[in-house]
Amino acid sequence: MEATVYNQRGMETGKVKLPEAVFGVHWNSDLVHQVTTSMKTNARKPVAHTKTRGEVRGGGKKPWRQKGTGRARHGSTRSPIWVGGGVAHGPRNDQNFTRKINRSMKAKALYTILSRKLKDKEIIFVDTLNMDSGKTKDAKEIVMNLGKIAGFEKLSTKRKNAAYITLGHKDVAVERGFGNFGNVTVDELRNMNPMDLMQNAYLIITEPEKSFEFLASKLPAKS
């Protein structure tokens, strides 16, 4: 399994061999759905918060005696059925929505999405990105050049979530150059996760051979 490698001007520079374990995985929608929904849940930060009858101020005195008044029995004006009382089964900001994601599941989901994107021709392999200036115009030129590659024309026209660019190491100049792009995300390869891939149309992987070594190491070897 091979793929074409391009430079930042959109010109072919050679071929690279793709690891079968990373880019040759069959699609598993159930696994991808389980991992991505769990990641969304783990990122959830509850804000809405209501008080129960035990937390609302007041209501210590019984409103009227138990019997003989002809009215219904009540023990506190802070009951949920009273105006100004507590809330029953309301939202709480101390709820724990976290879900455990096994390391092997997350890695397998990542490989599954990478394989699907490769099959759908949504991955561009670039040998390296050199942007010493860190200027937006240089970053725009790179996007326009890569958008000229056959099959990737939408890269330069898509307004939202156009591409996710992975870097082998932190590059302040590249991050600064693409910082004004609302449709392009730049991050180190080690931070890439299934949600990043699902939320962006295209994936641009720089330094392919080094990237493949790191990706292959994410799934622990079977003993």
Q: Domain 2-43+100-216, what fold?
A: Ribosomal Protein L4; Chain: A; (3.40.1370)
**Bridge partners for 4 per DSSP:** 15
Q: What is the pLDDT of residue 1?
A: 83
Enter the tokens of residue 199. 């939320």
Whole-number mean pLDDT of the chain?
Answer: 92
Residue type, 110: L
Report the SS3 class of residue 87. Answer: coil
Closest CA to 151 of 112, 122, 180: 122
Q: Does the pLDDT of residue 76 top 60, yes or no? A: yes
Q: What is the pLDDT of residue 157?
A: 87
pLDDT-wise least confident of 3-7, 58-62, 77-81, 106-110: 58-62
Residue type, 88: A
Q: What is the pLDDT of residue 223?
A: 39
Q: What is the pLDDT of residue 80?
A: 95
Enter the tokens of residue 207. 């330094």
Instruction: Give the pLDDT confidence of 40-63 residue by residue, as tens digits.
Output: 999 999 999 999 999 999 988 999
Contact yes or no for 189/167 (Cβ under 8 A)? yes
Residue with the larger pLDDT of the pair 99 and 221 = 99
Report how far Cα 121 is from the mean position of its chain's Cα atoms.
21
Q: What is the pLDDT of residue 15?
A: 93
Enter the tokens of residue 210. 């080094």
Instruction: Give the pLDDT confidence of 9-29 residue by residue, as tens digits.
Output: 999 999 999 999 999 999 999
Instruction: Identify the burial level of 178 via C-beta atoms within 10 angstroms of its C-beta, where 0-12 means exposed, 13-18 middle and 19 or more buried.
Output: buried
Contacts of 29 (CB under 8 A, 6+ apart): none
Q: What is the pLDDT of residue 210?
A: 92
> CA 146, 14, 167, 220 torsion: positive or negative?
positive
C-alpha 194/C-alpha 33 separation (Å) is: 10
C-alpha 70/C-alpha 64 separation (Å) is: 11
What is the percentage of the chain residues whose pLDDT exceeds 90?
Answer: 83
Strand 163-167, strand 12-17: pairing: unpaired
Question: Domain spans of the chain?
Answer: 2-43+100-216, 45-96
Closest CA to 149 of 113, 123, 186, 129: 123
Q: Is the pTM of this model over 0.85?
A: no
Q: Does the pLDDT of residue 98 top 70, yes or no? A: yes
Q: What is the pLDDT of residue 221?
A: 56
C-alpha 196/C-alpha 177 separation (Å) is: 20
Assign 222 a pLDDT band (cuts: 50, 70, 90). low
Q: What is the pLDDT of residue 59?
A: 85
Tokens 């091979």 -> residue: 2
